[in-house]
Amino acid sequence: MTERKTRVTVTIDPRLVAYANELVEAGKADSVSAVLNGALAEREARDREALRRIRDIAAQADPEKVARMRAHVDAQLAALPASHRRR
């Protein structure tokens, strides 16, 4: 990755710091920063995949049926007391 890194201060559990150091010492990671960068990148990928999954499933819905359900829900929401409709 060629993008410039940003320096941040974070607090990490001692056992996780020890594990990151072990990875570096064993030659399995370039630095503790690289370990953290990789972990965050994995988390980001997992979250994006989860979002993609629900969007892919939703794309298979029958738009007319969803429109009818939405209109039905909207009508019920509009009939709620004002206290339950807005802030």
Partner 1 sequence: MSEDGGFLPAPVILDASVLTEAVRGDAGVLDLILGYDVAGQPLLMPALAVVAASLDMRSDDAAATLRGLEQLENVSVAPVQGADQAVRLAAVISRTGLDPWDAHVAMVADAEVCSILTLDGRKWREHESDLDDRLHYVEISDPDDS
Q: Which long-range contacts (CB under 8 A, 24 or more apart) does 70-76 make?
A: none
Residue 39 in contact with partner 1, rule: CB under 8 A? no
CB atoms within 10 A of CB 20: 20
**Shortest approach of partner 1 to residue 87 CB, angstroms?**
5
Q: Which of 1, 8, 26, 58 binds partner 1 (CB under 8 A)?
A: 58
4-12, 16-24, 33-41, 71-79 -> range binding partner 1 (CB under 8 A):
71-79
Residue 87 in contact with partner 1, rule: CB under 8 A? yes
For residue 23, what are the CA distances in angstroms to 31, 38, 45?
Answer: 8, 12, 22
